[in-house]
Structure 1
Amino acid sequence: MKKRIWNKVVSIFTAILLVVGLVPNTTITALAAAEGAPSSLNVGNYQITSGDTPTYLKTGSTDGSLIEGSDNDWTVKYDPSTVTLTLKNATIEGVYNNVNTSGAGIYAASSSGPVSLNIVLEEENKVSGMYGIDVSSSGGSASLNISGSGSLTVSGHSGNGIGIFMSSQNSANLTIEEASVTALGSQVGGSGVRLITSQTGSPSLTIEVKGGSLQASGEANGIHFLSNVNDATAVANLNVSGNAMVKASNIITTKDGTGSAPELKPEASGSDGTGGIIWDDKSGTVYGDVTLQEDITISEGESLTIEDGASLNTGNNKVIVNGGTLNGEDKITGTVKYTPSITTASLPEGKVNEEYATSLSANGSEPITWNVTDGNLPTGLNLSTNGKITGTPTAPGEYIFTVTASNDVGSVSKELTITVKDVDPIYSIQNSGDISFADAIEGYTPEVKTIMITNDGNQPITLDQPSSTSFDVGTLSKAKLNVGETAEFTVQPKNGLLAGSYEEDIVITGTNNGKSVSTKVNVKFNVKHNAIKVERKDPTCTEKGNIEYWYCEACRKYFQDEALTKELKQEETILPATGHNLTKVDEKKPTVDAAGNVEYWYCEVCNKYFSDEKAEHEITLEDTIIAKLPKFVSGANQEWTKGSKEGLTFKIDTDIKEFKKVLVDGKELKDTDYDIKSGSTILTLKPSFLDTLSAGKHKIRFEFNTGSVEAYFTVKDKENSSQTESANTGVQNKYGLWIVLLLVAAGGLAGFGILSKRRKNHK
């Protein structure tokens, strides 16, 4: 009986041990039930470690903290069967612990295999931590899928905080489906999104946005693909479809090892050809066929490029170019608008009581309307909506105002100025132009021409009757000309002029209110023989000469004889130039005793000087001379006593025209501190200046165009006044001297007595 009871006890105890042994294994492996489920999952301060039923969390009393909720009251729900976190208007703040070592807002990790996490968004959600979301696998790939109709702002703070961080021993994949996600890195050195692979070979790092949007920014970069192993040739895929929008402050790929940085491959991924727009900093690119879901504005410094094979349909929206650059506009179907850009640089001046008209200009989509938004136009002027400024200004001045150009997508303003000048009296007359009469042969009949004089000022003018020596001048048609009026007179060569050339300026003078103005008409007339002899001219180094010949100006032919029987061609009369005979003169440096010279060439034929061997640059003899260096003639090491009426004079053997300035103790003197005159260069420091100097030795420096020289002089204090009085006193000095002698004698006797007494005592 006892044995039976014992057997039952042993059986029950064994069963209990088996049950106790099985319970922990069930708890530990619960999260791994679904494929790729994380072995560690932290949501804010809450660690989800076990269970196969949904976990419900809600916001706690502390901002960002989570406590257990229910299926009727939750902001975070986790379904282990689908490895899905659903966020509904949730605020999550990361907390450091032994498991969540990154302090992430959401931490999903696997230490031995792949890790996968789904996040579904409802309403507006915020997740933050050292890393906002951290999905890491130490033994396989890492995947994160974010979907839903809500939005998510995920941020990493402090240090090198990262918004979304994914680390994998294999490939890492981030997928966003129809959701709006903003990923922010820290302001120190973080990234908005960072994907890392530690696999050798050819792992892939993929971000795919299927509809919806991803905005990523950080102090270091917006999106960062990193391969941190040796010998890796990773590929970075950035795929867009369903009209997705990706905006990153910048997108980079780097390596940490001997392998190469991942090759970035942005492209459209929609099976139906749809793609999206990827913005890398301020440079956007359209991939695939995209239909805008909202207006796009390309601001100054930004550019949007529609690559070959891609297209952009604006749909019910539009592309607005506001100072940026749009490349591939021919691939756009729909509306493209350009905001105005004012191209008017400045406006012309106006004058009081004179009509003014100008137009403002701007680039941009029409219609563009204009108006003044600050300041005022000059009185009397108006700006129309089409950009025209018209009217008659009535008051002088400088008018500064701001104009604004607007269209249906934007506006731009610019400050402009119109200066209105007053009308000054102008006294002016102009003539109809110079006159050249046809050449004539002796015995000519004079030709008559008319000269017109116009008052082109703004004041009346009274004309004086003009006259001439070689020409007959007719009477003015009128003497008084109002503004804009014209007078005329005739001019013709006088009869009987002998052969020769006649040229004269006929001056027409007008006056008004003491003001005198004039204009002159140059009149030319040549009287010729039937033939003109041209004397022989010997050629020079540079100029052609000619033989003796005769020329008939009427027929413009050349002849060898005075009888005009042997005709020549013009080139047969020319004697070619002989060319220079140059001698090179080497450069000679100047000294204090003699001038030098530059290097030059001299032609003994034409007695000319040149600065180059080809004789292309002629110079004068004076240009070849380098003046001799300055040298002290006198004045060095002088002494001057304060109070003296005479100054200190220095003479330097250099032309005074070369003088630049004089300095004492390094300070340039004013013109009032010295007198200077020629005779070489003679400069005297004035007593008034010397009195300002301290007693002692001073350095003086003379600077010339040809060089500089230095010397020293000494300033002494004025002599003791008592000594001066003694030197200038007659009788008083004499008595004073006797008194001094008596005192010296008395002192000597006293001293002798004392010395004698000491000797006596010593004995």
Structure 2
Amino acid sequence: MNAEISADSNGTDASLTITGENNGSLEVSGSNHGIFVKSGTGNASVTIENASVDAKTTQTNSGYAGVYVHSSAIATNSPQLSLAVNGGSLTTSASEGNDGIQFYVGAYEATSATTSLTVNDNAIVDARTGGISASGVSVNPNVDIGSTDSTSGIVFDGSTGTVYGDVTLYESLTINQGETLTIPEGSTLNSNGNLTNKGTILASGGTLEGTLSNGTTPNITEQPYDYTVTEGEDATFTVEASAGSETPTYQWQQSTDNGSSWTNIESETNASYTINSTNTSMNGYQYRCVVTGSGGVSVISQTATLTVQAKPASVPVTGVKLNKDSLTLQEKGSDTLTATVEPADATNQDVIWKSSDTSIATVSADGTVTAISAGTATITATAKDGSGVSASCTLTVTHGKMVQTPKKDATCTVDGTEEYWTCEICGKHFEDESGTILTTPEENKIQATGHSYGEPVWNWSEDGKTCTVTFTCEKDETHKETPKVTVTSAEKAPATCTEAGVTTYTATVEFNGKTHTDTKDVADIPAIGHKLTKTEVKVPTSTDTGNIEYWYCEVCDKYFSDEKAEHEITFRRYDHCETS
């Protein structure tokens, strides 16, 4: 570890350089200051080269610092007070009320004195305990931290850290609760697996690369863009972001001073932010969104500027003209009307289209007229600026081809119809070919006349046991009905010894609510045959009558002279039988 101080009590510049070798480190603790450099009439500087330096003051009285860079009261020129850390790190600490790093200008005459702190080669300056300040009788109290000479490093001023240039972490770094590390535009921080976040990491236009020990860095895939509106219109800003498997949170911010300061917009925590009814006082306002992952890493979107233009002076509409004042369409046909607003420089060139009867025709916002059904309607275009100026077109809608249904007489079973016409396009029916009188097929129907059947025609089987019947329509002899017939029988005359008996067969049918019958007699009961008893010849005597030989049928109570009962005879009880 080498240190060099070049100054004398009456000298000009004073400088201290601490150079580390083989990752060397230096711990400095003082009862006044940890490291103290004071110039004479000129500049005062501290330079740390590739060393790990820990400087602290144990002084509890105010006005002391871990690193104290001082120009003396005799510095009459413009002394430059500087601290440069090139590689390695500087950690400072002080008791409450004192500074981690302090630049002090001691001369009234040094009105152009400068104070600066630069970091290079991934250096880290950690003044989280005490912070960084500049003071003195004439100094601007703002230290130029991270000037154009800084190319790579991190500086913590109290609880706020800033990344300068492109930085890669080679040692562990923890952002504690309540602390913020900002990566501004043009800077990059590669965590290299050495970054733990318990506070807030704010990628304010810069980039955070590498993984964190806790959480994912959000990635903004679509930035909000500048928005130009006319006063009274809405403006919407949108951001799209992802955070791995996490769901990021959003907070929109507004700047009214060209980005010098930003304030959160209350309750605007979605991916989109809409300003309703803009006004010209918002012109130039800027908006951005802070997107935060679960690990506390926040990425700030690009800035979007709102431009609000004043409404131009209004030029009212004085006339509206249509390209057609009459129009004829078939049903379901269409045509487009064109409206021309006068004067040509009228502020609002829009018109509102309207149909007087939407059952006849409709009109769309671009003037397209669509015919619905036959009839007449008026299509009107009215200026949208409220002037009431309008123009109209008379529309006639006609039917398509009319198809005739001719008259057809009804038959017994089929309905007929009166003559009517049907439009091929709309499908409606009309009594007349011109399509003026609506009708329906039902209204034109001629009811079927129905059958008028004559007397039945019976057809018996020879034996009378079966029978069919046919009814024929008197209006159309091709229409015949043969309902089922029921046949019953009854004995009309019983059989005798020599003659067959007669059966009467009755056919019955139910048809059209009436009962029809027919009969047929059939001699189908066989003759019984004689039952003969023979009586022998008896010769008469003086006291008794005699008789001839004969036969008697007990069934028919007749007498016969032969056993075949072919010859009937008359029997006289008193003496004899005679041949009949």
TM-score range, shorter chain: 0.3 to 0.5
Q: Which has the larger radius of gyration?
A: 2
Q: Give the TM-score of the pair, scaled to structure 2.
A: 0.34
Greater RCO (Cα-Cα under 8 Å, separation 6 or more): 2
